[in-house]
Structure 1
């Protein structure tokens, strides 16, 4: 029995060592510094071209955007009402995006109060901020609290967007690569929730929505698709 325990212990140590080595290798491979660009009118002009390419005005008039993330968090977003219904497991939150404190939540149809209500609102808001970004990030490049720089890299102009305030993770930076029509192809990200710097996410399979603006239906990181399903836009 002792020999078995020793063998298992050695296997566990070996596995942990491999994880540490893999983590160090990834950190060394993805330790790219944030590129330095030029802020001002040229960067804003590039951002405007990007917004025009994805029919931003039509996006602003969307009535309802629905999706599921990881088949766990489900969203019915009503942008014109500044409201989103977030549901997971047996909880549903009617989240007011401009007045979070006035949101309500139920569990199995029974209204929550006190700490349970606060916890539900906090979970809904944090996940909505993250999960909606994977849906509509190209439309948020000129949000309040953003700063833009134009990057000249690989004989191409790219758009750096820094989120200096707002959301759940202020300070995040994204560098967008655009195609010849200024439609987004991918971005590299420097974000607080990922310990690796300069990770690339591809935005692909653009389809026109019922609301009149195109949306990338496939986003991948390291070739692995971000689990977004049940997409509907009106």
Structure 2
């Protein structure tokens, strides 16, 4: 028993040391007109207006476990997982509707399902459309000098979504296209973890959306994405 406890203690210390080694502090940036200009450059590269005009976006997450059909124009998302189907009203969640195995459920269970659907949508849609959210209400944009001499775009979220207070440092290609971002988020205790944004597809509507992301050894696939009107 003592040997097992000792080994566990060594493992925990090793993990803490590893986290300390790879952890990066949140960089300080300059919030100025240059930051907004860089953000607009990214949006222009992605054909933001095409995304804005796209009415429907469909995708899946977690190997198809979470399924979404988002009516952007009307602010409604059909969210499916397990035996649940939630017609999530993003404008007023109280007007959302829930069925499980095709049947309505109790009011209390319905509220829990709506809350879960909203949390899922906030997380899973961010991995799909994060670059388009750099001017959302409550965001702050800053310029950060990167190691290669280029400028990175640091976007901080003071409100909105499920975890306000998160920060994302975008690395852009010379043409403004997003290549990756580093994260400082509440759900990950290590700062500066990087995820790729480099496998973009053009939707039927003309909008650019990412096919997948590489996060260390993990691949976050977005399934068969559709964007149309």
TM-score (norm 2): 0.93
2: distance between equivalents of 1:146 and 1:101?
A: 26
For the residue of structure 2 that corresponds to 1:226, the secondary structure is: strand
Question: Which residue does the alignment assign to 1:153?
Answer: 146
TM-score of the two chains, using structure 1 as the length reference: 0.91
Q: What is residue 193 of structure 1 aligned with on the other side?
A: 187
CA offset at residue 45 of structure 1?
Answer: 0.8
Distance in 1 between residues matched to 2:60 and 2:187, nearest whole Å? 20
Q: Runs of 5+ in structure 1 lacking a partner?
A: 1-5
Do structure 1's residue 60 and structure 2's residue 81 form an aligned pair? Answer: no
Q: Does the 8 Å contact 2:59/2:67 carry over to 1?
A: yes
Shift of 1:233: 1.6
Deviation at 1:176, TM superposition (A): 0.2
Report deviation, 1:177: 0.3
1:113 aligns with 2:106: yes
**Structure 2 contact 210–222 (Cα < 8 Å) conserved:** no
1:206 alignment counterpart: 200
**What residue number does 2:15 align with?**
23
| Partner Cα distance (2:218, 2:108) in 1 | 37
Tell whether the 8 Å contact from 2:23 to 2:192 is kept in structure 1 after alignment.
yes
Structure 1 CA distance, aligned partners of 2:91 and 2:196?
A: 30
Q: CA deviation at 1:112?
A: 2.2
Task: Output the CA distance in 2 between the equivalents of 1:133 and 1:29.
Answer: 28
Q: Give matches, 1:154-193, under 5 Å.
A: 154=147, 155-193=149-187
Please, which of 223, 226, 229 is the counterpart of residue 229 of structure 1? 223
- How far is the alpha carbon of 1:19 from its aligned partner? 4.1
Distance 1:64-1:18 versus aligned 2 partners, 3 A rule: farther
Equivalent pair of 1:63/1:79 in contact (CA under 8 Å): yes
State the shift of 1:153 in Å.
1.9
Partners of 1:158 and 1:62 in 2: CA distance: 28
Aligned-residue CA RMSD in angstroms?
A: 1.6
Question: How far off its partner does 1:16 sit?
Answer: 3.2
CA deviations on 1:24-68 (whole Å, 9 max, x unpaired) are: 033212321111111121111110011000011110111211111
Aligned length: 226
Q: Deviations over 1:80-132 (max 9, x none)?
A: 11010001111110001111121110011111232101110010000100000
